[in-house]
Amino acid sequence: MTYLKLLTKVGFKRLGISFISNFGLLWLLIEPAALFFPEKLNFGWLGYLWLVLISLIIALIQRFPRLLISSSLSSPDSQIEIKVGDLFKQKSHLVIGFNDVFDTELGEIIKLSSIQGQFLSKVYNNDRIKLDTDIKIALEKYENQAIQENDKAKGKVWRYPIGTTITLYDSSSEQKYFLSAYGYMSNDLVIKSNSDYLWTALHQIWEQIHSKGHGTHVSIPVIGSDLARIGLSRMLLIKFIIISFIMASREKFITKKLTIMVYSQDLDYVDLYELKEFLESACV
């Protein structure tokens, strides 16, 4: 099913361009040779049909759906990937988006299917007390910036500035988790965010990865694509993340490899072939 979704993204235009290019190249090679070996290279209509078929097969191979695309920055030496798969199956440090009170309670506040919900269930084995304790310890240095929100209906009441980013460490897997507040949790439990919030959060994420990631591979989901109500498509959000990372990397080394993870169920909203062209042009 994943490959079928990707195949529909190829489009007849891209396939046609590859076919014409391949056909022209093969013709360019065969035509001059036919002047010197007219008897051996006189294929007739059958030969032309074979040429068409071979060109089409090569085009299909060139445009075969891929679950991963990548490009490298010339300076610094960093690689950006866009990959289809499960964020929590990656053997890398992970970025996890949170709201500005760092809520963890499942149900009305946090959906189990959300990145935060999966983080609790897959990484912390649903031990919310342990997760809350780790978050509280990591947030201690930001206590002077926190504001108490007693009118909040449920969940945590200490609100931190948008962009606040903390690092949690799992000694068993040697993975680090960069938790960043990119959304405002209103008192009626509606998460709100926008492009400015996201840009601020990404800036702090890169800073945290720079100081604590030790250059190791980092994977990030398409932050803001679920319930944050940013108002940007997944395509724009991915481009947003790419641009932010490249700009930060121009100033200082962030990590040797950043992978942007796209869940397979989101492929209806993502054109990997367009993103490949964008990524290659952005990394020049």
165-170 vs 175-185, strand pairing mode: antiparallel
CA–CA separation, 221 and 223 (whole Å): 5
pTM: 0.81
Please, which pLDDT band fits residue 7 given cuts at 50, 70 and 90? Answer: low
Contacting residues for 242 by C-beta, under 8 A, at least 6 apart: 80, 260, 278, 279, 282
Confidence of residue 137 (pLDDT cuts 50, 70, 90): very high
pLDDT (0 to 100) of residue 34 = 55
Q: Rounded to a whole number, what is the largest CA-CA distance in the chain? A: 90
Q: Assign 36 a pLDDT band (cuts: 50, 70, 90).
A: low
pLDDT the model gives residue 258:
98
The answer to which of 29-33, 114-118, 122-126 has the lowest mean pLDDT is 29-33
Amino acid at 172: S
pLDDT tens readout for residues 152-168: 878 999 999 999 999 99
Give me the pLDDT at residue 228, please. Answer: 64
Residues above pLDDT 70, as percent of the chain: 85
Q: What is the pLDDT of residue 90?
A: 96
224: left (phi over 0), alpha (psi -120 to 50) or beta: left
Domains of the chain: 2-62 (no CATH), 68-282 (3.40.220.10)
Q: What is the pLDDT of residue 11?
A: 55
Mean pLDDT of 163-186: 95
Strand partners, 79: 72, 257
* The predicted structure's pLDDT at residue 23: 72
pLDDT tens readout for residues 246-268: 999 999 999 999 999 999 888 88
- Give the pLDDT mean for 125-129: 96
Give the pLDDT confidence of 43-87 residue by residue, as tens digits.
666 767 877 788 777 777 666 667 889 999 987 889 999 999 999
pLDDT at 18 over 60: yes
Instruction: In whole angstroms, give the CA distance from residue 101 to residue 8.
Output: 41
State how far the Cα of 17 lies from the Cα of 63, in Å rounded to an integer: 10
Tell me what percent of the residues of the chain surpass a pLDDT of 90. 59
